[in-house]
Amino acid sequence: MGPLLSGLVAFAVGVNLWFLFEYLLHRFAMHELHGKGIMSREHLLHHVTAGWGFTSRLLLAWLGVALVGAAAWLPLGTWLLGPAVGVGLAAGWVLGYGFYEFQHAQAHLRAPRNRYERWLRKHHFHHHFGHPMANHGVTIPFWDIVFHTREAPDVVPVPRRLAAGLGWLLDDDGELRAEFAADYVLVGIDRMDERQAGIDRARAFASLAPNP
Ligand SMILES: [Zn+2]
Ligand SMILES: [Zn+2]
């Protein structure tokens, strides 16, 4: 195999290496740790509000992923099969992560435009609102299927007070847009006070679904 082809194959392997780590990190380094360490804490705070905003945590995550690519996958691939494989593996890893970050942010911020985006949102928002210990993969269902953590309900119930984290789901009156009625239902009352915020936080840090 020439260096170009082996580099491309290594790139595909690198992307999929990320998808595996997307699952493992999300499940074991975020949800299983219940807020211990910055990665877990920041992720569970994301569960408290279900919103998405740019924070410095994102830069830290990019830095960490780039460091792992440069310090682990690049030398490992180079040592095993040469520099083209090392570069391909590391580049695939970093781009796989970029794809994940982009899709995750878009899922919270923008309505789906195709079958993949519709699937990804339902899959991920069931993780948020239905069962945080299911659907740890965000971009692909493969590892959830392998580890038996995939759940695919017909309709995802979204607590009203948290639906603002997914603005695209709601119309101007704060009701569910008709085009999403096949996939989502708003539940509970639109009440947010200090007590409810405390409950939401405690349940998120216990990796439990928010109560309606
Ligand atoms: Zn999310
Ligand atoms: Zn999560």
Cα separation values, 146 from 24, 25, 56, 204, Å? 12, 16, 33, 25
CA of 173 to the centre of ligand 2 (A): 29
Per-residue pLDDT tens digits for 122-181: 999 999 999 999 999 999 999 999 999 999 999 999 999 999 889 899 999 999 999 999
* Residue 43 CA, ligand 2 centroid: distance in Å: 6
Residue appearing with tokens 């200090």: 194
Residue spans per domain, the chain: 3-205
**Ligand with smallest separation from the Cα of 50:** 1
- pLDDT digits 0-9 by tens, 17-71: 999 999 999 999 999 999 999 999 999 999 999 999 888 889 999 999 999 999 9
SS3 for 184? strand
Write the CB contacts of 89 (distance below 8 Å, at least 6 apart in sequence). 10, 11, 13, 14, 17, 73, 74, 76, 77
Residues composing the chain: 212
The pair of three-digit structure tokens given for residue 166, joined into one six-digit string: 């997914």
Which ligand lies nearest to the CA atom of residue 53 in the structure?
Answer: 1
Amino acid at 174: G
Instruction: Please tell me the number of the ligand nearest to residue 130's CA.
Output: 2
> Using one digit for the tens of pLDDT, what is the confidence trace for 79-133?
999 999 999 999 999 999 999 999 999 999 999 999 999 999 999 999 999 999 9
- Give the ligand whose atoms come closest to the C-alpha of residue 32: 2
Residue 55: per-residue pLDDT: 87
What is the residue type of 63?
A: L
Centre of ligand 1 to C-alpha 73, Å, is 27
